[in-house]
């Protein structure tokens, strides 16, 4: 991993605040998917700490003015993790937290995959893997052409990095020296199913160790690595990424799929699946909000 110096301006209270935001995001993910009986779990849970850091500390945004022209942009290229993004947006004040119960319902603004035509605050619709980073390249070029000091963040899955379009966009970003563009790869080493193999949960990981670093470097990007669940380190690496050096930056975030829920961590089959009542009770206890016994929680 790259050495990341502690961020001098961030004190322990701020780290604790952001860790708590990440916990609230995870709680909202589990509650929302449980309520909808649909949605993704593993990928949103692995991304929660980074979403908390971006939306509650790093990005220059105005939740009460979502179309503010000078806002930093965020594209969830791994759009199937929408419930995590919706949780972050709701907690940050873009829309009421109570609206999360409409997730995945017909006519809801909170579709299973992000739809920017419905929900203010979304900078891009996504869900078809591989496409978000191309949009990010366009936004970064647009910011340059219009002279705006805007950063563009794009979150990708490691499985998503198997898509050819990712590398077409990566070539273009490097060719134009788009140093306001920051890609973040949620490197949880699992995808939806994967092939049986020698990785976590007996599955073949999308990449061999070091492969992502070598590939992004070869494509002309500055590559930084971080433990994607260590808030202090996440803030430090994102601060480093914000200082352009003439190249686009990718942060390879080492994460655990299903992070925070004991029986989901590291298991590909929790990519997306409905939660049974006893599993829900365990998940809530894992996240620090045990259900009262009368609700069917542990006695």
Ligand X SMILES: Cc1ncc(C[n+]2csc(CCOP(=O)(O)OP(=O)(O)O)c2C)c(N)n1
Among the listed ranges 67-75, 115-123, 152-160, 243-251, the one in contact with ligand X (CB under 6 A) is 152-160
**How many helices (H) and strands (E) would you count in the chain?**
8, 5
Using CB atoms, what's the residue nearest to ligand X?
157
Q: Is residue 114 close enough to count as binding ligand X by CB under 6 A?
A: no
Which residue has tokens 């050819």? 164
Q: Are 250 and 265 in contact (CB under 8 A)?
A: no
Contact map string, positions 160 to 179, toward ligand X, x by CB under 6 A: x-------------------
Which are the contacts of 208, defined by CB distance < 8 A and separation ≥ 6? none
Q: Are 154 and 132 in contact (CB under 8 A)?
A: yes
Q: Is residue 151 close enough to count as binding ligand X by CB under 6 A?
A: no
Which 3 state secondary structure label does DSSP give 57? Answer: helix
Q: Is residue 157 close enough to count as binding ligand X by CB under 6 A?
A: yes
Q: Alpha helix locations (H) across the chain?
A: 12-36, 42-53, 82-92, 132-146, 164-175, 211-218, 231-242, 277-286
Q: Is residue 159 close enough to count as binding ligand X by CB under 6 A?
A: yes
Q: Is residue 232 close enough to count as binding ligand X by CB under 6 A?
A: no
Q: Is residue 225 close enough to count as binding ligand X by CB under 6 A?
A: no
Sheet holding 73-76, edge to edge: 73-76, 152-157, 181-187, 249-254, 222-227
What Cα–Cα distance (Å) separates residue 76 from each residue in 12, 67, 79, 214, 286?
A: 28, 17, 5, 23, 26
Among the listed ranges 59-67, 188-196, 217-225, 274-282, the one in contact with ligand X (CB under 6 A) is 188-196
Least distance (Å) between residue 192 CB and ligand X = 4
Residue from 128, 146, 217, 262 that binds ligand X (CB under 6 A)?
128
Q: Is residue 26 close enough to count as binding ligand X by CB under 6 A?
A: no
Least distance (Å) between residue 134 CB and ligand X = 13
Which 3 state secondary structure label does DSSP give 286? Answer: helix
Number of residues engaging ligand X in binding (CB under 6 A): 22
Least distance (Å) between residue 257 CB and ligand X = 6
Q: Is residue 78 close enough to count as binding ligand X by CB under 6 A?
A: yes
* Site of interaction with ligand X (CB under 6 A): 42-43, 46, 78, 80-81, 127-130, 157-160, 186, 188, 190-192, 206, 257, 271
């Amino acid at each position: 991993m790259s050495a990341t110096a502690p961020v001098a301006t961030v004190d322990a209270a701020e780290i604790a605040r952001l860790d708590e935001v990440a916990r609230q995001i995870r709680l909202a993910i589990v509650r929302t998917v449980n309520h909808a009986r649909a949605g993704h779990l593993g990928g949103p849970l692995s991304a929660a700490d980074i979403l908390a850091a971006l939306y509650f500390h790093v990005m220059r945004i105005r939740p009460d003015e979502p179309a503010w022209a000078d806002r930093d942009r965020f594209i969830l290229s791994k759009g199937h993790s929408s419930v995590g993004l919706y949780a972050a947006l709701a907690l940050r004040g873009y829309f009421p937290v109570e609206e999360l119960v409409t997730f995945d319902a017909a006519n809801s603004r909170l579709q299973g995959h992000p739809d920017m035509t419905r929900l203010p605050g979304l900078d891009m619709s996504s869900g078809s893997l591989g496409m978000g980073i191309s949009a990010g390249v366009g936004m970064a070029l647009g910011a340059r052409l219009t002279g705006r000091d805007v950063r563009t963040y794009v979150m990708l899955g490691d499985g998503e990095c198997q898509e050819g379009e990712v590398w077409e966009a990566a070539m273009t970003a490097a060719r134009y020296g788009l140093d306001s563009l920051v890609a973040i790869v949620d490197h949880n080493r699992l995808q939806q199913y994967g092939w049986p193999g020698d990785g976590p949960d007996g599955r073949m990981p999308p990449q061999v160790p070091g492969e992502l670093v070598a590939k992004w470097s070869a494509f002309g990007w500055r590559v930084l690595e971080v433990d994607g669940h260590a808030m202090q380190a996440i803030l430090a690496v994102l601060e480093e990424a914000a200082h352009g050096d003439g190249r686009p930056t990718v942060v390879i975030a080492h994460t655990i799929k299903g992070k925070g829920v004991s029986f989901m961590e590291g298991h590909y089959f929790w990519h997306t699946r409905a939660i049974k009542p006893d599993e829900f009770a365990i998940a809530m206890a894992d996240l620090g909000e045990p259900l009262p016994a009368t609700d069917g929680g542990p006695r």
